[in-house]
Structure 1
Amino acid sequence: MSNAATIEKYEHIISKLIRQMKTLKPAFQENVAIGIVSMDNWEWPQGVGLFALYSYYKETGNLAIRDELIQWFDKRIAEGLPDKNVNTMCPMLTLSYLAEETGNPTYVALCKEWVTYVMEDMPRTDEGGLQHCVTRNLNEGQLWDDTLYMTVLFVARMGVLLQDDAYFQESIRQFLVHLKYLSDVKTGLFFHGWTFLGHHHYAQALWARGNSWYTAGLVDYLDIAPLPAGVSQFLISSLERQVRTLAALQHENGLWHTLLDQPDSYLETSASSAFAYGILKAVRKGFIDERYRAVGLKALEGVMSKIDEEGIVHGVSYGTGLKDNLDYYRKIKQCPMPYGQSMALMLMVEACK
């Protein structure tokens, strides 16, 4: 297949991914404070989806996508926003870009209000880490790898929007504190969480999607934040060590298990999409060795095999908390989710490059 034909094929898949993401509905009764399937809600899965859509708009110049994002935010703002926490912070990343692009004073004011909460009022762990507070659960003393993607990228973006180095420095601190306590020095992978109250990693779960928030998030963080060379070199070396282990653990079909080192756990598509996106972008940007391109492309094929004719991404695990039992991770339900659609979208756009 020619390059032009391949890109046309990918763009056809992209259009279906976007269409399905907009109309997802829960396949079962959700037992969460704020629904995390439908794009009509304001939570972290929607935030991941919004950022993917904005990234696609910036890549293609498709103004219809931008206008739909503006409509989404205007409707949610009119309805009233939820309480501030690590997860509800996620949509603010996209809003910060729209605030800069449109100059809408409401958007700007909200971005300032929410980032001020992070800087001044969000609960902290020891060493100033952002405690992984979520709706109805403070998770006292806990660091989760999810936090870097859900909140810290937004903090860095506000450094750009406000031209204030304090936000960049805070984002650096959060990356370093999280890597200090979540890194598995044996493998270069990341544990799902750490508690300062009990000083342990719970089940020591090397959970795929949590790891993928670093892989996918770091390559975008490096685009956002002007980092000192020593910091960026440290973060990239951590990425390459992670990718080296991911390459060894990749299933023959290109995907990864939801517990990366547990072959009896199911293969999970959203993490595999995020890994492939981060790996391919890191290779393209020259962050990691060219030999890892093959790992990303193998994962791309695996992810594409999980996208049905209608554009729905299958094999995606539902929202996953931090637990002290590996069986909990093995038993998480699988169903179409906004982040499954959006990480596949990010991957397909990167593949077109």
Structure 2
Amino acid sequence: MDRTDFARLGLLFLLFTSIIACKPTDESSKSSATASKSAELTVPKDLKWSERMMLSEMERVPKASMLDFQEKPRWSYTNGLVLSACAKVYEQTGKEQYYDYIYAYADELIDSTGTIETYKLSNQNLDMIKSGDVLLYLYPKTKEERFLLAMQTLDDQMESQPKTSDGGYWHKKVYPYQMWLDGLYMAEPFHIRYAQEYIDDEAEVQQIYDDVVLQFDLIQKHSRDEETGLLYHGWDESKEQQWANKETGNSPHFWSRAMGWYGMAMVDVLDFLPEEHPGHARIVTYLNQFAEAITNVQHESGLWYQVIDQGDRDGNYLEASGSSMFTYTFAKAVSKGYLPEKYEDVAQKAYQGIINNLITVEENGLVNLNQVCGVAGLGGNPYRDGSYEYYVGEIIRPNDPKGTGPFILASLELNR
């Protein structure tokens, strides 16, 4: 073998060893592929459920003004619900993308004069108060005068809102003499916080505290079923509505989300109602009665039915928004000391039921909340009669913000 042959062999040896050195092992190849796949995820799977759902909502609805499957930007309660949850995610993570999402909503819908786009005070619609929570959050951070002016407009609505003969706020001007459970969540957390933080007249503040508590007193008086402890969706003082019981004025069924709104209203209002106010202890009592009644109709999965007390009837289903709202209510109430520790177990069981039965995750990491009732109400046109068939017949869809918002709130409370 001559010198040339030795040189050729040397080159072949070097080439072979370099190939061996560069070839990845099976394990390193798998690791590389996993890292690549993880990098491609729209929503990372190593985050908490609260952040994963918030990111999923932002991916599905890049502009918060379009939440709730809207074709045009609007000011409404679902925006305020989801953005209140988003604010809590921001406070926990410090990630600016969440703050930017909140700010963009108010920036888009409130002009330089404080006028709120798509909002009409003359409608006297309690649903429209809910997004005021966004302004309560943003104004101290931005000091933008337009946000304060918009809050003042919403407070003006509360001052002029029509009332029943005993002082209960009508749900909307177009629904005269009617109190709905929904309305307490839509308006009272904003009403009491605005009074506490922006009204200087102490007598006026105390009057608003009294008015807020009165709304809960009246719901307990008119809407609570003494036998079960559950609460009817609506009450018509005039008893003129087709859906109203001619003796009591109540709607005919117990709708889970209506009671979910009421539960969240209680725990959120208690954040701002001074403990020394006599209404504080009363609302805590109402909350304990509520918790017992709701737990009595909890399904073995941990979830609750759309028509909450009639799980064995055809067409009924385990519904996501009410289940998420109850979970949030119980978890927060236990952490605040309003409910006994046993309700922590109820909340954990409910939350696990949501994860096991109602959550799905797409390949790109987007999180879906399934089996959410799209909407339900009373009266209107076409007329909603409040029957069992009506409640179970309304649209069911994934990722309705009336479910995703409370799911984020529940996830934050349980730190899951």
Instruction: Give CA deviations for 1:142-171 in whole Å, capped at 9, x if unaligned.
Output: 100000100111101111221451332321
Higher relative contact order (CA 8 A, sep 6+): 1
C-alpha RMSD of the superposition: 2.3
Asked if structure 2 preserves the Cα contact closer than 8 Å seen for 1:191 and 1:201, the reply is no
In structure 2, the residue matched to 1:90 is 130
Asked if structure 1 preserves the Cα contact closer than 8 Å seen for 2:110 and 2:146, the reply is no
Instruction: Tell me, in whole angstroms, the C-alpha distance in 2 between the residues paired with 1:282 and 1:182.
Output: 22
Task: After TM superposition, give the deviation of residue 35 of structure 1 in Å.
Answer: 7.9
Instruction: Give CA deviations for 1:110-167 in whole Å, capped at 9, x if unaligned.
Output: 1011111211x2222221211011xxx6111110000010011110111122145133
Q: Tell me, yes or no, if structure 1 residue 71 matches structure 2 residue 104.
A: yes
Aligned-partner SS, 1:256: coil
My pick for the range that moved more, 62-71 or 330-339, is 62-71
TM-score, normalising length: structure 2: 0.75
Aligned-partner SS, 1:143: strand
Q: Tell me, yes or no, if structure 1 residue 80 matches structure 2 residue 117.
A: yes
Asked if structure 1 preserves the Cα contact closer than 8 Å seen for 2:256 and 2:306, the reply is yes
Give the alignment partner of residue 327 of structure 1, picking from 386, 389, 393: 389
Asked if structure 2 preserves the Cα contact closer than 8 Å seen for 1:10 and 1:348, the reply is no
Instruction: Tell me, in whole angstroms, the C-alpha distance in 1 between the residues paired with 2:231 and 2:96.
Output: 38
Asked if structure 2 preserves the Cα contact closer than 8 Å seen for 1:155 and 1:170, the reply is no
Task: After TM superposition, give the deviation of residue 293 of structure 1 in Å.
Answer: 1.3
In structure 1, the residue matched to 2:415 is 352
Percent identical pairs in the alignment equals 26
Q: Tell me, yes or no, if structure 1 residue 251 matches structure 2 residue 299.
A: yes
My pick for the range that moved more, 296-305 or 214-223, is 214-223
The number of aligned residues is 334
Aligned-partner SS, 1:11: coil
Task: After TM superposition, give the deviation of residue 343 of structure 1 in Å.
Answer: 0.7
Q: Tell me, yes or no, if structure 1 residue 189 matches structure 2 residue 230.
A: yes
Point out the structure with max Rg over C-alpha. Answer: 2
Asked if structure 1 preserves the Cα contact closer than 8 Å seen for 2:50 and 2:89, the reply is no
Q: Which structure 2 residues correspond to residues 1-353 of structure 1 after superposition, within 5 A?
A: 11-24=47-60, 36-38=68-70, 40-78=73-111, 80-84=117-121, 85-119=125-159, 121-133=160-172, 138-164=174-200, 165=205, 166-198=207-239, 200-263=248-311, 264=313, 265-305=316-356, 306-309=358-361, 310-322=366-378, 323-335=385-397, 336-352=399-415
My pick for the range that moved more, 196-205 or 43-52, is 196-205
Unpaired segments of 5 or more residues in structure 1?
1-7, 26-33
Aligned-partner SS, 2:373: coil
TM-score, normalising length: structure 1: 0.88
My pick for the range that moved more, 105-114 or 169-178, is 169-178
Unpaired segments of 5 or more residues in structure 2?
1-43, 240-246, 379-384
Instruction: Tell me, in whole angstroms, the C-alpha distance in 1 between the residues paired with 2:193 and 2:341.
Output: 29
Task: After TM superposition, give the deviation of residue 175 of structure 1 in Å.
Answer: 2.1
Instruction: Give CA deviations for 1:175-230 in whole Å, capped at 9, x if unaligned.
Output: 22222212122222211010011153444311101111122221121112325353
Shift of the 74–326 alpha-carbon distance from structure 1 to 2, 3 Å rule, reads same
Instruction: Tell me, in whole angstroms, the C-alpha distance in 2 between the residues paired with 1:205 and 1:329.
Output: 9
Shift of the 41–328 alpha-carbon distance from structure 1 to 2, 3 Å rule, reads same
Which runs of structure 1 show a deviation greater than 4 angstroms over 4 or more consecutive aligned residues? none
Shift of the 10–270 alpha-carbon distance from structure 1 to 2, 3 Å rule, reads farther
Task: After TM superposition, give the deviation of residue 276 of structure 1 in Å.
Answer: 0.6
